[in-house]
Amino acid sequence: MSSVTDVAPVAATRTPEGRPRTPRKPRSGALLGVAAWLIGILFVVPVLWMVLTSFHSEEDAATNPPSIFAPLTTDGYREFFGVGTGANPWPSLLNSLTASVVSTVIVLLLAIPAAYALSIKPVRKWTDVMFFFLSTRMLPIVAGLLPIYLFAQFSGLLDNIWLLIVLYTAMNLPIAVWMMRSFLAEVPVEILEAASVDGAGLLLTLRRVVAPIVLPGIAATSLICFIFSWNELLLARTLTGTVAQTAPVYLTGFVTSQGLFLAQVCAAAFVVSLPVLVAGFAAQDKLVQGLSLGAVK
Amino acid sequence: MHRRVRPTSTVALATTLALGLTGCAGWGGGPSGGGPDTINVLMVNNPQMIDLQRLTKENFTADTGISVNFTVLPENDVRDKISQEFSSQAGQYDVATLSNFEIPIYARSEWVAPLDEYVEADSEFDQDDILGPLTESLSGDDGKLYGEPFYGESSFLMYRRDILEAAGVEMPEDPTWQEVADIAAQVDGAEPGMAGICLRGQPGWGQVFAPLTTVVNTFGGTWFTEDWDPQVSSPEFREAVGFYVDLVREYGETGAPQAGFTECLNNVIQGNAAMWYDATSAAGSLEAEDSPVRGLMGYAAAPVVETDSSGWLYAWSWSIQQASAKKDAAWEFISWASGREYEELVGEELGWSKVPAGKRASTYSNPDYLAEAEAFAAPTLAAIENADPNDPGAQPRPAPGIQFIGIPEFPDLATQVSQDVSSAIAGRMTVEEALDRGQELAEDVAERYRERESG
């Protein structure tokens, strides 16, 4: 792990001034641009398709070949918000928000000190520790599902949002430690030494020197933990009932084996993915910075 | 590195924390799960259940003061969740939608509560009005009643009268499978893109093997003999599956290996199939007001070969979990949902075509319902009344059921075999290969039962 000292910004292809690092022939640049656009469109089309379908009527959504120019309607959204059906999506949305946000905060509170002890002031055998963290992810969650269910049943924690918070924290902690370690490893030792020479204590160094450098990393880590918790279905479906039901479970409830449901499910899926989209857009610049600086390198 | 603290970073952190705090506050926003007058109901997402959810608050809760929390899940998920919940007797849900497949099995394990005492004490609930075959199929081995039907269905043959007339063929009232195959050959391609018949080919014990097992029954085949001798590769089973696969390959819908109930429904509605052998409950959708084939359909009994009738029997029903602490309130809910008055409520509020029918004799003498469902009411009633879950084929059976065998292993067994049958429909495998493999799987199941019976 020599990356602590020789940090080469490999992933950054352009300088902040917009000047390309290596002058390219214009034609290959244009080709690359077209390829990038094509790939980008390929990834976005299913999402756009989902949004379009969500504004169609059930009959138009089910036709084959698909009817792209069918009249638009908001019926799918009205169904989702329970107009006329008596269903109420808000408790499940709030439950998802609670589980995701609280578990993300706990994960950060635990992962940052752990990552500090694995990078800036590494403990002995820190590589073994890293491997241990990773190994907790090697058991598929489904293998532990039955014991978790029985434990929850005996301890009266079924259908309790705090059980999900604990499980999501455990689920995301290893990833967060790994990500935060690689971000903290980017902090040049010289800066820390300079701070210490200037007489800064540990807390001051953390607050004034380390935090500003790794903030993009924290943003990226929290967003990833948030997304994983927000989207989690297996545990939520098994362990919750009427009180702690989360949004993904509520979303699957629109699937029926008798009758049409595509438009409704698309509307529900769009509403449920909105918070993640919003969080992603809000943290976009930090995210790009964080992901290109740290873990993905 | 210079210190470049961007204000946005601080904002991001603050937002995270703020979200965390409001999130905590939002936790109380969930519905209360434990009030004394609150019951939890776990149900499958079928249109009739969604209608029920719509009507509960203003009718049931307003009358009785009992509020109902619903959890609605797709069919496969709800089956998983119910078996997990009931087998561990977790007591989270008071009532769940079970079918006549699960109820006798669950009753044997004492996971569901017997309802006889509630029925007797409830003078408003008319049990005698429930169709005989349903009451029978919702009772346990001990003769006690463990479920009340919400809606029932059998299977019959639906066909386009106009297409058959134009082709100059007449549908017999009680057709044989050979007659149906001949008609399919004549009307195949009657309109551009129109298949002669739509039959399910999608893997799954509740998909292709629902209609296919009724075909096997009437061809004289069975999954098991009375003393657990597997018969999947027997000549009768082979002939039935061969007939079904040939029929759907020659005159069936495009994409048959992936077609289930919903796909066939769409095919018929969009004019892509002239006939369809499936659930009687499909007729409600075909005759709905916005359906393009409304008024064009004819309905005939399930086609037969050796038996007198071959329609299946299925009923989504309500059962009470044995571990429930609120059984009285749970019964009040069931009594309301399965009662005659609820059907009238649906008829008046949402339209008579949406009535959860197929369970009460009185439904079929109700003039309002008959006005809407005239085309298919009599064939539906006849199909359900003719269904005999205890003697559906040419030989005695080890467990009750028409389109299934009432043992917990059946979904797994039939789903595995159905994957090969679906491959045969796709032309990737022969029927013989599919059924030889099925025979091995059935042998494993049979062995367990033979051991249990001899031990």
Contacts with A237 from chain B: Cβ below 8 Å: 73, 77, 81
Best interface-test mutation with B: which of A206, A242, A252, A278 has the largest number of B CBs within 10 A? A242
Residues B290 and B359 in one domain: no
Q: Of B325, B349, B374, at which residue does a domain stop?
A: B374
B262 touching chain A per CB within 8 A? yes
d(CA B102, CA A11): 58
Q: Which helix (DSSP H) or strand (DSSP E) does residue B83 occupy?
A: helix B75-87
Residues B123 and B61 in one domain: yes
- The stretch B427-441 carries a mean pLDDT of 96
Instruction: Copy the structure tokens of residue A80.
Output: 């989702």
A97, A103, A118: which is closest to A221 by C-alpha?
A103
Residues B320 and B407 in one domain: no
For residues B319, B322, B327, B333, the Cα torsion angle rounded to the nearest 10 degrees is -10
d(CA B272, CA B201): 16
d(CA B276, CA A211): 67
Contacts with A286 from chain B: Cβ below 8 Å: 8-9, 12
B159 touches B298 (CB < 8 A): yes
Higher pLDDT, B378 or A23: B378
Residues B293 and B179 in one domain: yes
**Identity of the amino acid at B455:** G
Residue-wise pLDDT for B73-120, tens only, equals: 988 889 989 999 999 999 999 999 999 999 999 999 999 999 999 999
Q: Of B345, B374, B403, at which residue does a domain stop?
A: B374
Backbone phi, then psi, for B380, in 5-degree steps?
-65, -50
- The stretch B148-154 carries a mean pLDDT of 96
Residue B148 covered by a domain: yes
Q: Which residues contact B272 (CB under 8 A, 6 or more apart)?
A: B193, B194, B195, B198, B253, B254, B266
* CB-based contact B26 A285, cutoff 8 Å: no
d(CA B377, CA B45): 24
A19 confidence band (pLDDT: 50, 70, 90): low
Residues B338 and B406 in one domain: no
Contacts with A261 from chain B: Cβ below 8 Å: 45
Q: Domain span at residue B437?
A: 155-311+390-454
B282, B33, B326, B31: which is closest to B158 by C-alpha?
B282
- The stretch A151-157 carries a mean pLDDT of 92
* CB-based contact A91 B270, cutoff 8 Å: no
Min distance B73 CA to chain A CA atoms (Å): 4
Residue B4 covered by a domain: no
Instruction: Copy the structure tokens of residue B19.
Output: 């979200």
Question: Which residues are registered as beta bridge partners of B317?
Answer: B98, B149
pLDDT of residue B32: 41
Model's pTM, two decimal places?
0.82
Question: Which residues are registered as beta bridge partners of B321?
Answer: B112
Min distance B270 CA to chain A CA atoms (Å): 9
Contacts with A87 from chain B: Cβ below 8 Å: 53, 70, 72
Percent of chain B with pLDDT over 90: 83
In total, the C-beta contacts within 8 angstroms joining chain A to chain B are 147
* CB-based contact A258 B281, cutoff 8 Å: yes
In order of B111, B117, B200, B208, B255, the CA distances from B249 in angstroms are: 43, 51, 11, 14, 10
d(CA A97, CA A104): 10
Instruction: Copy the structure tokens of residue B258.
Output: 């992936």
Residue B22 covered by a domain: no
Min distance B271 CA to chain A CA atoms (Å): 12
A18 confidence band (pLDDT: 50, 70, 90): low
Q: Which residues contact A174 (CB under 8 A, 6 or more apart)?
A: A133, A134, A136, A137
Residue B407 covered by a domain: yes
* Residue bearing tokens 């290596």: A22
CATH code, domain carrying B74: 3.40.190.10
Residues B303 and B271 in one domain: yes
Strands (E) across chain A are located at: none
Residues B106 and B224 in one domain: no
Residues B343 and B297 in one domain: no
Instruction: Copy the structure tokens of residue A199.
Output: 């007489």
A3 touching chain B per CB within 8 A? no
Instruction: Copy the structure tokens of residue A285.
Output: 């610049």
Residue B379 covered by a domain: no
Q: A235: nearest CA in chain B?
A: B81
B33 touching chain A per CB within 8 A? yes
Average pLDDT, chain A: 85
Tally of residues, chain A = 297
A208 touching chain B per CB within 8 A? yes
Residues B76 and B121 in one domain: yes
Q: Mind giving me the DSSP string for A5-29?
A: T-----S--B-TTS-BSS---HHHH
Residue-wise pLDDT for B241-280, tens only, equals: 999 999 999 999 999 999 999 889 989 999 999 999 999 9
Contacts with A216 from chain B: Cβ below 8 Å: 9
Residue B245 covered by a domain: yes
Residue B305 covered by a domain: yes
Q: Mind giving me the DSSP string for B234-271?
A: SHHHHHHHHHHHHHHHHHS-TTGGG--HHHHHHHHHTT
Q: Mind giving me the DSSP string for B323-335?
A: T-S-HHHHHHHHH
* Residue bearing tokens 């297996």: A234
Residue-wise pLDDT for B200-240, tens only, equals: 999 999 999 999 999 999 999 999 999 999 999 999 999 99
Segment 15-54 of chain A within 8 Å of chain B by CB: none
Q: Which of B6, B16, B45 sits opposite A253 (nearest CB)?
A: B45
Q: A102: nearest CA in chain B?
A: B20
Residues B169 and B245 in one domain: yes
Q: Of B374, B401, B418, at which residue does a domain stop?
A: B374
Residue-wise pLDDT for A172-205, tens only, equals: 999 999 999 988 988 888 888 898 898 888 889 8
Structurally, how many domains does chain B consist of? 2
Q: Is the pLDDT of residue B296 over 70?
A: yes
Residues B397 and B370 in one domain: no
A61 touching chain B per CB within 8 A? no
Instruction: Copy the structure tokens of residue B256.
Output: 């048959």
Min distance A29 CA to chain B CA atoms (Å): 31
Residue B17 covered by a domain: no
In order of A19, A247, B216, B307, B384, the CA distances from B394 in angstroms are: 83, 49, 10, 7, 19
B449 touches B398 (CB < 8 A): yes
A156 touching chain B per CB within 8 A? no
Task: Return the axis-axis angle of helices A211-231 and B7-26, rounded to nearest 10°.
Answer: 30
For residues B163, B164, B166, B167, the Cα torsion angle rounded to the nearest 10 degrees is 120
Contacts with A90 from chain B: Cβ below 8 Å: 29
Q: Is the pLDDT of residue B3 over 70?
A: no
- The stretch B59-69 carries a mean pLDDT of 95
Residues B63 and B143 in one domain: yes
